[in-house]
A and B are shown apart, each in its own frame.
Chain A
Amino acid sequence: MSADTHIKPSAISDEPLALAGAGLSLAGPRDFFQLMKPRVMSLVIFTAIIGLLVAPGTLPLYNSIMAIFCIAVGAGASGALNMWYDADIDAQMTRTKKRPLPRGVMAPGTALTFGFLLSVVSVWMLGLATNYVAAALLAFTIFFYVVIYTIWLKRRTPQNIVIGGAPGALPPMIGYAAVTGSVTVDSTILFLIVFIWTPPHFWALALYKLSDYGRVGIPMMPNVAGPKSTRNQIFGYSIALAAIAAAPVITGLGGTIYAFGAFLLNAGFLALAFKVWKSRAGEKDEVQPESLYEVQKGDRDARNLFAFSIIYLFAMFALIGVDHLLIGIS
């Protein structure tokens, strides 16, 4: 990638240059932090804390903090490696063109080295601070996100975010494993809640933000299977999500507060998914002038579901955490 901050070819003459090929980048610590996708990290940290909190057994406070720190850094490393690989398409999408690589303030090699180093350090430190099951899960998460999702699936199949949702769903399982050193039914339920939540969450976004993904050739479900099929699948996944949300009540992971809260949240999620299903969200190309308002309304339904889905996930995990804390107190 050529960048303004690097030596321009015109600066290189026949005379050997002491600094030829080097040049200084303008990337500062803030750019490196941006490379770690801080907004994604916040969700990772929150779900990992809940996983750690509800796991049976105890982990000393310092090791718990270290575990969360390592999981967050591991997620950040995945983000950096993702931005390194996707710099070409990031430069063409409005949402991502201001990232450090497309802006040209950072060389791709720098992002690659940064991501790789953080991956190694976070996995090794997590193993040192907790146990090697948690470390192996973190290593698997980074591998899955970078190799399976970013490099392999993202540009090849509309199922990209379904399968690619796995690494985003693993942090609570890693938090849980940090305490127990194992993978259990309860930690699998936590994983499944995020895993099944991912498709309706992203497809709702894709329904009203179609153009960006389509322009760069990312096969998102609305672009490939069409908006109608996507709306059907959103509703289908929402039903599956409601079923998974009932599982903690059966296994004892969630108590009364969870059961009550999860019922309301899932009723809300299903209602919004139903509105999307009935709407014409994503069907901009078939718009007739007289039906313009209807389509706008349809897009609003998709946007509402997307916004609610973020609150939904935080609230579901918060409920599990609160329930567990109250059981601990009583």
Chain B
Amino acid sequence: MKEYRDTPKKFVEPTADEIKARTKRNIALAAGLLLFVILVFVTMVSRGHLPNAV
């Protein structure tokens, strides 16, 4: 028996402004996460928690 799937046919197109805002948010999010990773690493090293490789 064929499985019924309600296939979407309509899609909401984001406006140019929405895409621009999303791109900015994504870049800020990536930069924030990168900063966070660096800060955690440097802070741990500053407190004497050296990674095994060092």
**Residues of chain A whose beta carbon lies under 8 Å from any beta carbon of chain B:** 5, 7, 11, 13, 15-20, 22-29, 32, 60, 62-63, 66, 121, 125, 128-129
- CB nearest neighbor in A for B22: A24
Interface class of chain B by DSSP: helix
Establish whether residues B25 and A18, one from each chain, have CB atoms under 8 Å apart when the complex forms: no
Residues on B with beta carbons closer than 8 Å to the beta carbon of A125: 39-40, 43
Residues on B with beta carbons closer than 8 Å to the beta carbon of A5: 18
Establish whether residues B8 and A17, one from each chain, have CB atoms under 8 Å apart when the complex forms: yes
Q: Given A18-B11, A125-B39, do A28 and B25 touch, yes or no (CB 8 Å)?
A: yes
Please name 26 pairs of A and B residues whose Cβ atoms are closer than 8 Å in the assembled complex, sorted by A: A13-B10, A16-B6, A16-B7, A17-B12, A18-B10, A18-B11, A20-B12, A23-B12, A24-B15, A26-B17, A26-B21, A27-B21, A27-B25, A28-B25, A29-B24, A29-B25, A29-B28, A62-B43, A62-B46, A63-B43, A63-B46, A63-B47, A66-B39, A66-B43, A125-B40, A129-B46
From B11, B12, B21, B44, residue with most partner A Cβ within 10 Å:
B12
Establish whether residues A121 and B36, one from each chain, have CB atoms under 8 Å apart when the complex forms: yes
Distance of A329 Cα from B21 Cα, bound (Å):
50
Distance of A25 Cα from B26 Cα, bound (Å):
12
Distance of A62 Cα from B47 Cα, bound (Å):
10
Residues on A with beta carbons closer than 8 Å to the beta carbon of B36: 121
Quick one: which of B3-53 are within 8 Å of A by CB?
6-12, 14-15, 17-19, 21-22, 24-25, 28, 36, 39-40, 42-44, 46-47
Residues on B with beta carbons closer than 8 Å to the beta carbon of A27: 21, 25
- CB nearest neighbor in A for B15: A24
Residues on A with beta carbons closer than 8 Å to the beta carbon of B7: 16
Nearest 5 pairs of A and B residues by beta carbon: A24-B18, A29-B28, A18-B8, A19-B12, A24-B14
Distance of A16 Cα from B6 Cα, bound (Å):
7
- New contact pairs (9) apart from A20-B12, A23-B12, CB-CB < 8 Å: A13-B10, A17-B11, A22-B12, A26-B17, A27-B21, A62-B43, A125-B40, A125-B43, A128-B43
Distance of A60 Cα from B45 Cα, bound (Å):
13
Total cross-chain contacts (CB, 8 A) = 67
Distance of A54 Cα from B24 Cα, bound (Å):
40
What's the minimum C-beta distance from A175 to chain B, rounded to whole angstroms?
Answer: 17
Contact residue among A13, A24, A62 (Cβ-Cβ distance under 8 Å from B42): A62
What's the minimum C-beta distance from A38 to chain B, rounded to whole angstroms?
Answer: 16
Residues on B with beta carbons closer than 8 Å to the beta carbon of A32: 25, 28
What's the minimum C-beta distance from A72 to chain B, rounded to whole angstroms?
Answer: 13
Establish whether residues B11 and A19, one from each chain, have CB atoms under 8 Å apart when the complex forms: yes
Distance of A62 Cα from B18 Cα, bound (Å):
38
- CB nearest neighbor in B for A31: B21
- CB nearest neighbor in A for B42: A62
- CB nearest neighbor in A for B9: A15
Distance of A17 Cα from B18 Cα, bound (Å):
18
Establish whether residues A128 and B25, one from each chain, have CB atoms under 8 Å apart when the complex forms: no
Residues on B with beta carbons closer than 8 Å to the beta carbon of A11: 12
Distance of A29 Cα from B20 Cα, bound (Å):
11
Residues on B with beta carbons closer than 8 Å to the beta carbon of A121: 36
